[in-house]
Chains A and B, each alone.
Chain A
């Protein structure tokens, strides 16, 4: 099956710092990657859709200057949480769809737990 990795798996940072999370598709090319946020005991909330070589599309209510997304290659997308604050603490999870086709399955990474002190 398709494998998606995320790094780091867990990060603790001080308020005001920026944190970068990487999402990689290891054995397939992904023209599209998605970034989600999940609070405890809740469902996944889509933050943005990341397309290789173009600007990300953000969901309503998600600050694009706060959550910077870069999709520089067909196997890598990054999410940078800028000037992180305690309310940004959450579980961030990415997914990737294989290039081509119309009904691609999204394969998810293992997630990154962010704790902002």
Chain B
């Protein structure tokens, strides 16, 4: 069975602070994919990143960076110099390899960035 744990439920920071959102996953598959999605108050899920199990390189995209470590089954997401527009619910998700396989979501982390 697959499982995604986002232990943090709510995080509140002041603008310009750095913040890390944790994600720990469980799977018995050797091929799998990890995702982060952002859900702003409007409700739409915005795709942020996809990582496959064979690529442990960290990735940076502007103020966003991701740290994938198979040894600890973690896929953490860091926002540098947070902004008010970063306020949203962030979901980490996992899917096994293979066509049409389902996403397993974590419970989500509500991030509030105060001015």
A residues near B (Cβ < 8 Å) are 1, 31-32, 34, 41-44, 46, 49, 51, 91, 93, 95, 97, 101-111, 113
Q: Which residues of B contact A95 (CB under 8 A)?
A: 45, 103
A110 to B36: give the CA distance in the assembly, Å. Answer: 17
Cα distance, A24 to B107, chains bound together (Å): 26
Residue numbers of B with Cβ under 8 A of A are 33, 35, 37, 42-47, 50, 52, 91, 95, 97-100, 102-103, 105-108, 110
Closest to A111 in B: B43
Q: Smallest CB–CB gap between B40 and chain A, Å?
A: 11
The 3 closest A-B pairs by CB, nearest first: A108-B45, A110-B44, A111-B43
Specify which of A42, A97, A104, A107 is in contact with B107 (CB 8 Å cutoff): A42
| Residue from B35, B102, B107, B110 in contact with A105 in the complex, judged by beta carbons closer than 8 Å | B35
Is the CB–CB distance between B91 and A102 below 8 Å?
no
Complex: how many Å from CA A1 to CA B100? 19
Q: Is the CB of A108 within 8 A of B100?
A: no
CB-CB under 8 A from B42, the residues of chain A are: 110
A103–B35 touching, CB < 8 Å: no
